[in-house]
Amino acid sequence: MQRRDFLKHGGIAGVLAAGSAPAFAQSQPEVKWRLTSSFPKSLDTIYGAGEQVAKIVAAATDNKFQIRVFAAGEIVPGLQVLDAVQNATVEMGHTVSYYYFGKDPTFAFDSAVPFGLNARQMDAWMNEGNGMKLMREFFSKYGVLNLPCGNTGTQMGGWYRKEIKTVADLKGLKMRIGGFAGQVLTKLGVVPQQIAGGEIYPALEKGTIDSAEWVGPYDDEKLGFNKVAKFYYYPGWWEGGPQVSALINQKSWDALPKSYQAILQAACAEAHNDMTAKYDARNPAALKRLVASGTQLRPFSKPVLDACYKAAVEVYEETGAKNAAFKKVYEDMVKFRDEQTLWFSVAERGFDDFMRTVKRGA
């Protein structure tokens, strides 16, 4: 069943509409799962989604189905969540799938790829396009089931010790950046480093890296990046709408009662929507605080973005020529993206452009 089906029927309320939670739970078995996250506890938005899922599932089953949430490093490092789920070290993980680009670049489509989809477009592709079907087919090879469980919205382009005025300024830059984007930036001379969220600040502070990207103002302020890097660039062209996913061991999922599967899927859908709302609500004030504290906000120049786009297309073509699964998903995503971009450029952009320039109350 698709996530939209739960939303149409009121999410958790719809699941339990036929009877009270206690009566429902009495006939169900006790299940205890562990969820390992890729994120530190300090990030209440992205780490908190895993805790939110656990609370909803427990409440909806009268504590019959309990999920214990562990932060990155408590069971396995943040970048090893997929392995832990695949090997049944844990039943469930909460992560972004582009972390596993090194295993197969196709994983990135479950989260975000350079110049891909924004958050709403990603939801549309997953739930009304072929995105979920294609990614379920791909994940099945690893014995894993994927559920959308968050989206940060378009991210920022990261923190830099020096200004990035031209493409030449990227050459030799040691940058913390995950997944597909690192391979794209390599073509422009960047030296990518994949580092888990909780380890970025010390690397940037010590000069092990020259720049780093994470999410956006709210999380970046919490991690303190403005204390060790001055220039803050936008947009994060590699993450127009990065989806965060719940990865579930397929055998563990199959062993659940159907009602528990429905509740877990609905809980992930609720956490998915809440994460985007939280970031949208909290980023504006955080950005104002960062700028007030001395952060220098900068847009990437068009020549830099053009060069990055050209490099991304080259990597797509090179990867697709060697990887049939990647090519299949990429071609479907691009076709969907191009239609979405056309539509968004009409009503959405027209409205947003006006609201950006109007003087409220004038």
- Would you write out the chain's pLDDT as a tens digit for each of its 362 residues? 455 554 444 555 555 544 455 555 567 999 999 999 999 999 999 999 999 999 999 999 999 999 999 999 999 999 999 999 999 999 999 999 999 999 999 999 999 999 999 999 999 999 999 999 999 999 999 999 999 999 999 999 999 999 999 999 999 999 999 778 999 999 999 999 988 888 999 999 999 999 999 999 999 999 999 999 999 999 999 999 999 999 999 999 999 999 999 999 999 999 999 999 999 999 999 999 999 999 999 999 999 999 999 999 999 999 999 999 999 999 999 999 999 999 999 999 999 999 988 866 54
The reply to whether 148 falls in a domain is yes
Q: Are 274 and 244 in contact (CB under 8 A)?
A: no
Q: Are 121 and 115 in contact (CB under 8 A)?
A: no
The reply to whether 139 falls in a domain is yes
The reply to whether 219 falls in a domain is no
Q: What is the C-alpha radius of gyration for the chain, rounded to an integer number of angstroms? A: 21
Assign residue 69 the CATH number of its domain: 3.40.190.170
The reply to whether 350 falls in a domain is no
C-alpha to C-alpha distance for 142 and 100, rounded to whole angstroms: 12
- 10 Å Cβ neighbour count for 341? 13
Peptide bond into 148 cis (omega under 30): no
| Tally of domains within the chain | 1
The reply to whether 196 falls in a domain is no
The reply to whether 106 falls in a domain is yes
Q: Which two three-digit tokens encode residue 287?
A: 């950005």
> ∠ at Cα 147 (13, 30), nearest 5°?
60
The reply to whether 177 falls in a domain is no
Half-sphere exposure of 12 (CA within 13 A, CB side): 21
The reply to whether 109 falls in a domain is yes
> Whole domain around residue 50: which residue ranges?
3-152+240-280
For 170-207, give the DSSP string.
Answer: GTT-EEE--THHHHHHHTTT-EEE---GGGHHHHHHHT
